[in-house]
Structure 1
Amino acid sequence: MTTLAQNLLDLSDFAWQRLRLRVEGLTDEEYFWEPFDGCWSVRETSDGFSADSSRLPPAPAPFTTLAWRITHLIDVLQAERTATWFGHPATSEPPSVPGSAGAALEALDRAYEVWRGRLAALSQEDLDRPMGAIAGPYAEDDGTSFALHILDELIHHGAEVGTVRDFYQGARGEDPFPAALRGELTAADRPALLAEAATAQRWEVVRRLAELGFGVNERAAGGVTAAHVAAGTGSVDELRFLVERGADLTIKDTQFNADAPAWATFFHQPETAQYLKADSRGGCNTGWICLVGQ
């Protein structure tokens, strides 16, 4: 039987993997993008960078940039209280405010490593015990409620980050596929473009991008590869093309933890399922989607 502590850790890892994939390829322009006047963001000061704030939060709350949201999440995950409120010592230094997209992703990785280590170290007693005076007005709340609060912060801020990235792409109004086909956008510029074309089921674009050197095993949002999409939509010819180009059918997405054969099974695509069964590289791994579909 899975313990409460393990369920919390699994949920945390699931939310983290989803967020980490959503911030891949983040640029400084996008990181600091302010779509409206009055946004809260991260700004350069004489001492480095600092995040906009106010002792009395304004109402309504201002729109916050990716820089502000990611910085806030970094602070939340490795705050001293994520150790001390559980009765454990805090061992990490407060993070500095990252002044670039690259620095932000490195700091985000470190922050999650700190939080995950603290969460993994919790015993059932830590989760059951009221937190006491150190938690102020939450003294009577137990450790489980606080762990769930931090997970809610990770999940809802992660969703906000993904939404702002979508908003940024939509506001630019650019279709990246023509630029890639003209050679103006390379795999180094946007590694997941072939997977994105697959999720849009633009298979003719997928084939041309593969010929131009875009990787067939890169992941779009949710950790989905082109092979997942082909298998789940019953696109046998496209799946065969991807396999011939070196598609790794064992890669699992981060939403369902399932491989391409599992997608074929779950989405009731007998043709792609049969093709994958016949292919020596196919096989249904242990993601829950596979178990449900069988």
Structure 2
Amino acid sequence: MENDRVRTDRLGVLLDQFDCVRERAQVRLEGLGDEEYLWEPVPGCWSIRRRSEAVTPRAYGPGEWLLDQGAPDIPAGEYAEVARQAADGMSVAKIAEDWSVSVERVEEVLAHTGPVEPDTTPITTIAWRLGHLHSCFAGEWEWTFGERRTDPKQLVDFTPSATLALDRFWSLIDRWREAVGKVTEEQLDTVGFSQYPYGSAPDDPYISVLWGSNLELIHHMAEIALLRDLWQARFNARG
């Protein structure tokens, strides 16, 4: 028996996946308070910080609060992706530009053989994860459906208020979903339909960009959910 609610067209599958993740994420984020939002479970976390207190070399944001960001590099987990980019014909110079690293660093990655060392990455707060997602989706909306003028790193005014951050994020996500829902089959196959400047979006068909956006939402929301579980376990352990 056919289920009228299930779409099997290419865009429909991605939209249904997105909607499912959004619904589950909103439930998981109910009741998020400021202390939990900013909780740093270990020393050296990345988070949002006042401009005067920022310590990471590329922390960014237009206002008083900035999102931590470290020095540019290609993590070990992305070596295979860089190799695929080169195999697909992307120049070393373009790869270096996309990753904000030197040509020499790309050549080093491409020349690597054997197993790679595990990445050492900072633990991030819920505030960081949510801010990162907000920044990514705001930038992708602006550089796909908007005027394509504003630097994506200047689009989101980060805030220490969990309630305000969530209100702003869900509002953006709803706008994003509405715009994506109107994308045509032709646009799905159009290379460069999105001109989002961080990453390979300008060089990919838009359906690949959408797939990546869904993946970004899924994995960061899963991390946020785990941080919420750890926060609750910590609270219970203390009685």
TM-score above 0.5, yes or no: yes
Q: Given residue 39 of structure 1, which amino acid in structure 2 is its aligned partner?
A: C
Q: Distance in 2 between matches of 1:94 and 1:139?
A: 19
Q: Given residue 125 of structure 1, which amino acid in structure 2 is its aligned partner?
A: E
Q: Distance in 2 between matches of 1:135 and 1:49?
A: 23
Q: Distance in 2 between matches of 1:63 and 1:25?
A: 22
Structure with max Cα Rg? 1
Q: Which runs of 5+ in 2 are unaligned?
A: 1-6, 53-62, 76-118
Q: 1:131 aligns with which of 160, 180, 192?
A: 192
Q: Distance in 2 between matches of 1:63 and 1:38?
A: 8
> Is residue 130–residue 139 contact of structure 1 (8 Å, CA) maintained in 2?
yes
What pairs up with 1:196-215 in 2 under 5 angstroms?
none
Deviation at 1:108, TM superposition (A): 1.4
After TM superposition, which residue ranges in structure 1, 4 or more long, deviate above 6 angstroms?
Answer: none
Q: Which runs of 5+ in 1 are unaligned?
A: 177-294
1:84 alignment counterpart: 143
Q: 2:44 aligns with which of 31, 38, 42?
A: 38
Secondary structure, in 3 states, of the residue corresponding to 1:56?
coil
Q: Percent identity at matched positions?
A: 31
Q: Distance in 2 between matches of 1:73 and 1:144?
A: 19
Deviation at 1:22, TM superposition (A): 0.6
Q: Which has the higher contact order (CA 8 A, sep 6+)?
A: 2
Structure 1 residues 105 and 135: alpha-carbon distance in aligned structure 2, compared to 1, 3 A threshold: closer
Report the number of matched residues.
Answer: 173
1:74 alignment counterpart: 134
1:118 alignment counterpart: 179
Secondary structure, in 3 states, of the residue corresponding to 1:36?
coil
Q: Given residue 121 of structure 1, which amino acid in structure 2 is its aligned partner?
A: K
1:217 alignment counterpart: none
Superposition TM-score, scaled by structure 2 size: 0.64
After superposition, the C-alpha distances for 1:160-203 in whole angstroms (9 at most, x for unaligned) are 11011001111222599xxxxxxxxxxxxxxxxxxxxxxxxxxx
> Is residue 41–residue 68 contact of structure 1 (8 Å, CA) maintained in 2?
yes
Deviation at 1:45, TM superposition (A): 3.0
> Is residue 38–residue 160 contact of structure 2 (8 Å, CA) maintained in 1?
no
1:6 alignment counterpart: 12
> Is residue 192–residue 202 contact of structure 2 (8 Å, CA) maintained in 1?
yes
Structure 1 residues 95 and 133: alpha-carbon distance in aligned structure 2, compared to 1, 3 A threshold: closer
Structure 1 residues 94 and 83: alpha-carbon distance in aligned structure 2, compared to 1, 3 A threshold: closer
